[in-house]
Amino acid sequence: MAGHSKWKNIQRRKNAQDAKRGKVFMKLAKEIFVAARSGGGDPETNPSLRLAVDKAKSANMPNENIDRAIKKATGDLDGVQYENVTYEGYGPGGAAIMVNLLTDNKNRAAADVRHAFSKNNGNMGENGCVSFLFSRRGSLVIDRSEINLNEDELMLQVIEAGAEEMETHEESFEIYTDPQEFQNVKNLLEESDIHFVSAEVTMLPETYTHLEEQDGENMLKLLDMLEDNDDVQDVYHNADIDDDVYNQM
């Protein structure tokens, strides 16, 4: 992971979200709904709900939308059963991809994901074919232009908060934690008035696959197609794509 920045992926995802804000809010509401229904509507006692709410707030989802999703989940609402499903496969150039979904129709979800892979020079694989290439970690990303601390000052606070690692890049600081310590680290840094571009427990690749121009373009098209699917909550991949390809797309 060292030397590879999440910044490009975050910026690409943010630009896509800005263009379809309503769809993003719908996916976040579904995630909040499932977390609240399974563990209760109090974020203080339901860690999964707390993570989902924090994720929604970082995407600027209105509080009334968040409250509505929690109330729906804890009220008497029949007929809604979402199932968490993960599909794995290989994208253009052999890049590893994991797709996490919340769906009420597994057959439809599988067909849609398979179609997205095949249309963009990818292939779905068996469960476990690429998951070993990823590890579950807390990830906190800071925009360097929005923080007054220098690298050494920030590093000291990060260490004191209990984070495992901090990477420094041209445009960002990227902090990584044990998943169990994520919320505590986040809270301690926020108490120091540090704000995050992205804060989530996610799946991070252990190694990366560099893609040449055409494979990179096809990979971005595949990611966009997957993320545009209403059932898809998260897409994880290990593609290393040049800045020029991002800019062209």
**pLDDT, tens digit (0-9, with 9 covering 90-100), for 16-69:** 555 567 788 889 999 999 999 889 999 999 999 999 999 898 888 999 999 988
At residue 162, the pLDDT reads 96
Question: Which of 141, 114, 106, 93 lies closest to 237 in space, CA to CA?
Answer: 93
The answer as to CATH 3.30.70.980 being correct for domain 135-204 is yes
Name the pLDDT band for 3 (thresholds 50, 70, 90): very low
Homologous superfamily (CATH) for 83-132+206-248: YebC, transcriptional regulation domain (3.30.70.980)
CATH of 7-74 among 2.60.40.60, 3.40.50.1820, 1.10.10.200, 1.10.1060.10? 1.10.10.200
Q: What is the pTM of this model?
A: 0.81
Residue owning tokens 């997205």: 116
The half-sphere exposure of 115 on its side-chain side, counting CA atoms within 13 A, is: 8
**3-state DSSP call for residue 129?**
coil
Q: Which value, to the nearest 10 degrees, does the dihedral of the CA atoms of residues 132, 38, 223, 141 take?
A: -80
Q: What is the mean pLDDT of the chain?
A: 89
Spatial distance between the Cα atoms of 171 and 174, rounded to a whole number of angstroms: 10
Q: Does the structure show a pLDDT above 90 at 204?
A: yes
> What does the block give as tokens for 221?
């098209």
- Residues 6 or more apart whose CB falls under 8 angstroms from that of 132 comprise none
Higher pLDDT, 242 or 1: 242
Domain with CATH 3.30.70.980 in the chain: 83-132+206-248, 135-204
Segment (H or E) for 199? strand 198-205
Q: How many CB atoms lie within 10 A of CB 204?
A: 18
* pLDDT tens for each residue of 103-145: 989 999 999 999 999 999 999 999 999 999 999 999 999 999 9
